[in-house]
Amino acid sequence: MSSAQNNPAHPRNVQLTADGRLKHFLSINGLSRALLTEILDTAESFANMGEQAVKKVPLLRGKTIVNLFFENSTRTRATFELAAKRLSADVLNLDIKTSSAAKGETLMDTLQNIEAMHADMFVVRHADSGAAHFIASQVTPRVAIINAGDGRHAHPTQAMLDMFTIRRHKGGFEGLKVAIVGDILHSRVARSQIRALHTLGVEEVRLVAPKTLLPIGVEDLGVKLFTRMEEGIRDVDVVIMLRLQKERMSGALLPSESEFYRLYGLTTEKLAYAHPEAIVMHPGPINRGVEIESAVADGSRSVILQQVGYGIATRMAVMSMAMSGQMQERAQIQ
């Protein structure tokens, strides 16, 4: 038995049932290529649902899903809500700013009160790293937890919709070179993307950023580091731009936004260094003229808007698989 399996705190143990099925989705860490591929295959089955006359399947009929967002979000929250509704679940969006938490109620009290309403799944977004893991360790076993982003730690569903986008447009992962560009330091998305890309078998993952926006020890994740944009994206098949997270920055990490754009913004001229058939991605929201030129964001090689649509199918896959795993484990216990 591996050390990961021996360690009860390892995310693999928390996220999976005894027979290896998904019951929470907290992190890419510890998940196998087979399980990530199953998520992508399941998402594929939902991908064209938006074009159908009836945009629903009954997989989660009778289940209650609570969107528990302690941080602001537009795309993530909206796609989770649509995903739950397309699975026929009942959805409760809890506005933390106007909830009892704003009046001093503790996180655990908030969770226990929602549990008392017989909720089946919490979709959690929180500013503190590890919040989703903590919640998963505290709630009753019948509640599934989906991490919608926690601090600088992880954003696994965003990573998986990005993997879905790459597979859709590139056909697979083997032999691909992928560059992740921009604010790596503050990006939970980048951390999850790196894990997923390696697990799914890409040839090379590159990080491109100024030294001030590269985390200490990030090279231990098996990536190649570049501080010059032209070198970093040369001949790559996928360019993933990241948002400059000014709200998380403290101190003089950048001389100015205009200087960042000059050196690291993706322009038509810089994109010419990538493979001629390279695709351009961005998890959003986009800061035009800071991270990316409008001509590139709106150009023929951009798949940014497709990413948003794929987010619904990917989150439907994760939610349906986690709920199925929870129900199977509950049945075995009974």
Q: Tell me, what amino acid is at 98?
A: T
33-46 helix and 304-333 helix, angle to the nearest 10 degrees: 110
The phi, psi pair for 256, rounded to 5°, reads: -170, 160
Domain 156-302: assigned CATH number: 3.40.50.1370
Q: Which residue has the higher pLDDT, 326 or 230?
A: 230
The predicted model scores a pTM of 0.90
Supply 78's token pair: 């909206």
| Domains of the chain by residue range | 3-151+309-333, 156-302
Residue 155 known to bind ligand? yes
Tell me the per-residue pLDDT of 179-229, one tens digit each, with 9 for 90 and over.
Answer: 999 999 989 999 999 999 999 999 999 999 999 999 999 999 999 999 999
Give the pLDDT score at 106: 78
Which amino acids are annotated catalytic? 75-76, 103, 125, 155
Containing H/E element for 31? none
- How far is it, in rounded angstroms, from Cα 242 to Cα 252? 19
The chain-wide mean pLDDT, for the chain, equals: 89
**Same topology between domain 3-151+309-333 and domain 156-302:** yes
Distances (CA, A) of 190 to 66, 87, 103, 168: 26, 28, 34, 20
Sign, Cα dihedral of 33, 39, 41, 47: negative
Residue 24 known to bind ligand? no
Q: Which residue has the higher pLDDT, 114 or 318?
A: 318
Residue 170 known to bind ligand? no
Tell me the per-residue pLDDT of 255-270, one tens digit each, with 9 for 90 and over.
Answer: 678 888 999 999 999 9
Residue 193 known to bind ligand? no
Q: Tell me, what amino acid is at 273?
A: Y
Domain 3-151+309-333: assigned CATH number: 3.40.50.1370
